[in-house]
Amino acid sequence: MTADPRDGLDRLAALEPIGPLDQRAMAATRVHLDHLTKPIGSLGRLEELAVTVAGITGRLDASVARRAIVVAAGDHGVARHGVSAYPSAVTAQMVANFVAGGAAINVLAAAAGASVIVVDVGVAGTIPLARGDRRRGGRLVRARVTDGTADMTQGPAMRRADARQAIAVGVNLVDELRSTPGLDLLGVGEMGIGNSTAASALVAAVTGEPVALVTGRGTGIDDETHTRKVAIIERALVANPPDTADPIGVLAAVGGLEIAALVGLILAAAAARIPVILDGFITGAAALVAAAIEPNLPPRLIASHRSTEPGHGIVLERLGLRPFLDLDLRLGEGSGAALASGLVVAACRIRDEMATFESAAVSGPVDLAPGGALARPPDG
């Protein structure tokens, strides 16, 4: 019998079904963009972004004013094998830094006009909160399921029930953000020492690609550590043979609590027709799991950038996504999502604020029909 990918999880089962993009809204947006005072298609992928936002939201005038970057945080038992250049204590310390406003994501989100929400879904130990710059500081959501995951080389990283609970954390947070203060655009990021190891294991399990092909250097590990990292992931997949028909089972076996929360965030936002901007490799791994649960999901995602992690290109290819930036980023935290949110805002401002040929009394192309003002196409 084929497993139900939703696994009876109430919070997932309650979500609206994720359907295809709204083709009529996309077509009407293309017509409008073609009537703006520029050569047709000359703003390239900015126009593509405006059309994609219309397809996701079903609206030609969709707002992206209320923007948030959610950073899910959790620790990993596999980190005890020395797969990272940093100790596990850094996870809690960086969460404190996010809340204090001192991290890269705080700076980049502030530049993009986005709030930062940090979710402790699986941090091990106490978060040493300190005073900082409250103008850039993040809001901390305490939703810890367990104090990190178990060592996935010895068995599942977490119980199935814990994976499901962490997914529900993400779903519930989207519900909260939609109600207060409202949410038009969601960027997702993560923090967790060892999570590139878990993400590599997930990507190898879901795609069937060799571990060595999808495993990179994460925090900047040396050759010896990278070799050990590959071997550890291979041991984990032997200890937890993946069943691709059971994505939540795979997530529980070799994933992470913060990755599970990302799955919930992504699915809930997509079901609510809110554009979701992925960050890098770890959020991409979460999106792969989410797409295994909801096959119509990928077109509703925006890939912010291409990470230097080798597995990220494979993730993007499987999701059918083309990234908007290629800046050799490998930080995480939602940094790429914050940068790309500025492009989404720019695309929507082009849509809303540029003059048409008609309104500016500028001669358009000889074969361009009159009109082009934004309006929902008639029913039927």
Q: 124: number of CA atoms within 13 Å, CB side? A: 17
How many angstroms separate the CA atoms of 303 and 298, rounded?
10
Domains and CATH numbers, the chain: 65-343 (3.40.50.10210)
Q: What is the pLDDT of residues 227-249, one digit of tens each?
A: 999 999 999 999 999 999 999 99
CA dist list (Å): 334 to 6, 40, 58, 277: 26, 33, 26, 9
Give yes or no: 333 in active site. yes
β-sheet bridge partners, residue 356: 36
**pLDDT of 192 higher than 70:** yes
pTM for the model stands at 0.93
Cis status of the peptide bond prior to 377, with omega within 30 of 0:
no
What pLDDT is attached to residue 179? Answer: 94
- Strand locations in the chain (E): 67-74, 115-122, 139-142, 185-191, 276-278, 301-303
Q: What is the pLDDT of residues 86-129, one digit of tens each?
A: 999 999 999 999 999 999 999 999 999 999 999 999 999 899 97
What pLDDT is attached to residue 373? Answer: 57
Q: What rounded mean pLDDT belongs to the chain? A: 93
Q: What is the pLDDT of residues 246-278, one digit of tens each?
A: 999 999 999 999 999 999 999 999 999 999 999
3-class secondary-structure state, position 165? helix
Tokens read off for 353: 């604020």
> Stretch 212-230: mean pLDDT, rounded?
95
From 234, 333, 353, 358, active-site residue: 333
Q: What is the pLDDT of residues 9-58, one digit of tens each?
A: 677 777 888 999 999 999 999 999 999 999 999 999 999 999 999 999 99
Q: What is the pLDDT of residues 9-22, one digit of tens each?
A: 677 777 888 999 99
Q: What is the pLDDT of residues 67-77, one digit of tens each?
A: 999 999 999 99
8 conformational bin, left if phi > 0, alpha if psi -120 to 50, beta if neither:
left
**pLDDT of 153 higher than 70:** yes
Q: What is the pLDDT of residues 338-362, one digit of tens each?
A: 999 999 999 999 999 999 999 999 9
DSSP states along 69-120: EEEEEE--GGGGG--SSS-THHHHHHHHHHHHT-SHHHHHHHHHT-EEEEEE
The answer to whether 124 and 148 are in contact (CB under 8 A) is: yes
